[in-house]
Structure 1
Amino acid sequence: MTADEFRRHGHDLVDWVADYWESVGSLPVRPTDPPGAVAARLPAGPPDEGDGFAGLRADLDEVVLPGMTHWQHPGFFAYFPANTSGPSVLGDLVGAGLGVQGMLWATGPAATEVETVMLDWLAELLDLPARFRSTSTGGGVIQDSASSAALVATLAGLHRAGGGAWRTSGIGDTRYTVYTSTQGHSSIEKAARIAGIGDAGVRQIEVDPASLAMRPEALRAALAADVAAGARPAVVVATIGTTSTTAVDPLAEIGRICQEFGVWLHVDAAYAGAAAVCPELRWSHAGLEYADSYCFDPHKWLLTGFDCDAFWVADREALVAALTVMPEYLRNVATESGAVIDYRDWGVPLGRRFRSLKLWFVLRWYGAAGLRDHIRSGVALAQRFAANVAADDRFEIAAPHPFSLVCFRLKAGDAASEALLARVNATGRFYLTHTRVNGDYVLRLAVGSPQTTELHLDDAWSLISTTADDLVR
């Protein structure tokens, strides 16, 4: 592809994406085709000769779009938002075009230094503790997801718990343990498996049945019991905004317990961390000064396309000591000087894309004020929906809803609530998911798309309410 061909076809694809964003609200949120339908529309094998751009362009409409779940749809209320934006897409385009391999400072000075500054910018926007800044003992790095952040934190915690022995001799006969609440993300268990701790080393700490937040006294008891039994606690993972219900664990109490036992505290704020750009929502981060590491996903609620998890540590030397490996072929003057950051030492993969460009584009385009407006809009829309639910005596709110997720159910019970979800999703107009809260089947409605308005939330409530008429008599 020549530069002229790239320019011509690139302009066409930018138009295609812009047209998609303008029309996505008119499409069904999810496809209706059965599994295998997309694959059936594809040729059985690759072409012998390139077939040009026209065929590719046509297949976007005929193969890809009919098989898409539309995460940018204004009626997408499932899981958590994963919304992109124009500035983010343009930043990704530039990063892909530059094609930098940013594993070392020497292989991409701008890629490294822009990332360092962007993580400092984010730390300022969220008012994170000073020790997470690159100008202090810590610093930030972009991981692909909060799942990878959980793994990296677990490895750093293992390194500390074993006094460095884990790095050279592995787990060995030592029994290491990991702690999170019963509402903690599944990635914490996966991280324990990958790190060699195994499921048997994961302790799920009970939560308060009303707030669904971790009970500090239960954590203390579990830590004390494991230490008495000869185990070595490696990491405690507290959550700001759990996946099921956005429960917020009491960080200050948990942090003091972690200090008492000398265990690494990682705080997972994958979804709700973005809320801290708004001063009135920073209460959720009270006690974060106790954390050894913290992460949130700009690719969830901060208009930055996947993948982009912002991960900070309070002591970067502890992280680097756990993960660094230096083969001869990577040695260079800049690294040996100690004056630069090599992000290959801050995560699992060696190779790294220039992901900070899209953050840079987003932060510069929207500014702090624009990002706060976006978060506040999502919260206000969710509260509007929650008020409608609370005013209808057929329904009940199933959990606190301080952010932009509302968990609710029909008082008629699990079967009615499950049927309600199925019927609403079958219309193709909206997409909600479910969870269980204290054993009950609960619907989840998560707001986050910048295209979602009061009209969409009111339409969703109207559909939910009228559908309930057929289920509750």
Structure 2
Amino acid sequence: MDSQQFREFGREAIDFLANYYDTIRDRDVLPSVQPGDIIKKLPKDAPEQPEPWQQIFQDYKDVVIPGITNWHSPQFHAYYPTGTSFASIIGGLLSDGIGIMGFTWIASPVCTELEVVSMDWLAKLLGLPEEFLNSHSGPGGGVLQGSASEAILVGLLAAKDKMIRRLKKQDPDLDEDLAKIKFVAYTSDHCNSAVEKAGVLGSMKMRLLESDINGRLRGKTLKKAMEEDKALGLIPCYVVCNLGTTGLCSFDAMDEIGPICRENNVWLHVDAAYAGSALICQEYRHLLNGIEYADSFDVNAHKWFLVNFDCSAMWVRDSYDLINAFDVQRVYLEDVDSEIKIPDYRHWQMPLGRRFRALKLWFVMKSYGAEGIRSYIRRHISLAQYFAKLMKADNRFIIEPEPSMGLVCFRLVQGDLLTKKLLENITKKKKLFMVRGSFRNQYIIRIVICSQLTNIEDVELSWNKIKNEANTLLENDAVHIKSQTITTIHGMENICVTEKSK
């Protein structure tokens, strides 16, 4: 493909994407494919000869598009949002277009320095403490990871290394291998699966502690668990505090958890993957109570901040904790000396290679402005509250727990079986997509405002689909119960006749 073909293909691709978003309401949320259907459509071997871009693009439209789940449909209400915006798409295109690597400053100076500035901008917008700023005189700063999962693991590995260094100061003859197997990490039983996985990957026992009736991990529960483990000769090492759990969007009591971590020299990582973006709105800043105890904090800009995946913003109070854990030197990676504080980001992450993620984040912040992003997040929350208002007027449904951010959890009064059947019936029609959850051991359905395109009419459409499906389900259930009752009565009559004839 030469530059002229690139221009032609690029124009076609941009036009296609613009039209895709313009017509997304006309598309089913879920694709009409079965497992293996796409594999059957594709050749078993790669082509020997180059194919024209027109053919490649046609295959994209014929094979790829029919197999996608339309995450940005206003009727997509599953999981949490995955960010996108035209500003971010252009930022990603231009980042990929120049094709740079940013593992050292000299490898691409702007890759490092734009990230330094963008992360400081974002930290200030979210109201994070000065200690987390790259521009602060201290050792803290921000870095873009690939995902919140990476940030959790990076924090765990840094905590592990820091604990070993602390213990070796106390006992220079410490057996490091023996000490490491005694390390314990803690989090809520409502945590994301990534937290558990970090324990597996980092070879650290991860205790999932029971949350309270509102899905929050409390300080007294953490303190009790640490005391139990210390009595067994184990060593508390790492805590993940969830600000917006995946299932319920519940918030752990960071102001209670923080002092316990500080008292026990335990690393406190704050996972605010989804809900952290709402901190840009002043009315949600109270959620940061206790942030002064955090060693690291992470929010997925690629969830609710209009930035395309992957772009996870992580800040640390002391970057030397990361550098000490991940610094592996090679002659060919020597960088320039500078009197200005410039981070060597390859030591702040697991991989060596670094994508120019900051460009799309920078484009979004410049394109929308802080007020535009605030308005977007507030609109999502308002739409979730509007949906809850519509549902609360129908006494066949129960909303619990209370709606949180852009999430509403609900169930049918009739219980788990019919609530599960309701979700199954809706999903089969592919017009509306939600996923299940659990609250106080009861089956619930989660509906999240995800698409940046969603408006009041879309929310009303989703509600009507849910309500109509419930009408059909409950009517059929009533007929079934009536039929069973009649059958039982007839059965009893037959028994009585038989008894009389005897």
TM-score (normalised: structure 1) = 0.96
Amino acid of the residue matched to residue 210 of structure 2?
E
Partner of 1:207: 211
Quote the offset at 1:461 in angstroms: 0.9
Tell whether 2:194 aligns with 1:192: no
- State the alpha-carbon separation in 2 of the partners of residues 165 and 2 from structure 1: 59
SS of residue paired to 2:360: helix
Partner of 1:219: 222
Quote the offset at 1:156 in angstroms: 1.2
Tell whether 2:280 aligns with 1:277: yes
Amino acid of the residue matched to residue 38 of structure 1?
I
Render the CA deviation track for 1:186-214: whole Å, top value 9, x for unaligned: 111111111122xxx211111111x2100
Partner of 1:134: 134
Give 2:337's match in structure 1, choosing from 334, 339, 342. 334
Gaps of 5+ in 2: 169-173, 479-502
Partner of 1:153: 155
Amino acid of the residue matched to residue 431 of structure 1?
F
How many percent of aligned residue pairs carry the same amino acid?
A: 39
Amino acid of the residue matched to residue 202 of structure 2?
A
Tell whether 2:78 aligns with 1:71: no
Partner of 1:433: 435
- State the alpha-carbon separation in 1 of the partners of residues 404 and 76 from structure 2: 20
Q: Superposed, which structure 2 residues align to 1:13-412 within 5 Å?
A: 13-136=13-136, 137=138, 138-163=140-165, 171-174=177-180, 175-197=182-204, 201-209=205-213, 211-334=214-337, 339-412=341-414
- State the alpha-carbon separation in 1 of the partners of residues 19 and 382 from structure 2: 28
- State the alpha-carbon separation in 2 of the partners of residues 28 and 411 from structure 1: 29
- State the alpha-carbon separation in 1 of the partners of residues 102 and 71 from structure 2: 29
SS of residue paired to 1:162: helix
Quote the offset at 1:228 in angstroms: 2.0
Gaps of 5+ in 1: none
- State the alpha-carbon separation in 2 of the partners of residues 296 and 88 from structure 1: 17
Higher Rg of the two aligned structures:
2
Tell whether 2:472 aligns with 1:470: yes
- State the alpha-carbon separation in 2 of the partners of residues 214 and 118 from structure 1: 32
The alpha-carbon distance between structure 1 residues 459 and 232, as it changes in their structure 2 partners (threshold 3 A), is same
- State the alpha-carbon separation in 2 of the partners of residues 23 and 76 from structure 1: 15
Partner of 2:490: none
Quote the offset at 1:72 in angstroms: 1.2
Quote the offset at 1:113 in angstroms: 0.4
Render the CA deviation track for 1:32-79: whole Å, top value 9, x for unaligned: 211111111111211111111011111121101111101111111000
Render the CA deviation track for 1:73-100: whole Å, top value 9, x for unaligned: 1111000010311000100011101111
Aligned CA RMSD, in angstroms, stands at 1.6
Quote the offset at 1:394 in angstroms: 1.0
CA contact (8 A) 1:184 1:243 kept: yes
Aligned length: 467
SS of residue paired to 2:405: coil
SS of residue paired to 1:333: coil
Amino acid of the residue matched to residue 305 of structure 1?
N
Quote the offset at 1:230 in angstroms: 1.4
Quote the offset at 1:339 in angstroms: 4.5
- State the alpha-carbon separation in 2 of the partners of residues 232 and 344 from structure 1: 29
CA contact (8 A) 2:326 2:347 kept: yes
SS of residue paired to 2:240: strand
Quote the offset at 1:165 in angstroms: 7.2
Render the CA deviation track for 1:161-208: whole Å, top value 9, x for unaligned: 222679x986445410000010011111111111122xxx21111111
Worse overlay, 171-180 or 290-299: 171-180
SS of residue paired to 2:337: helix
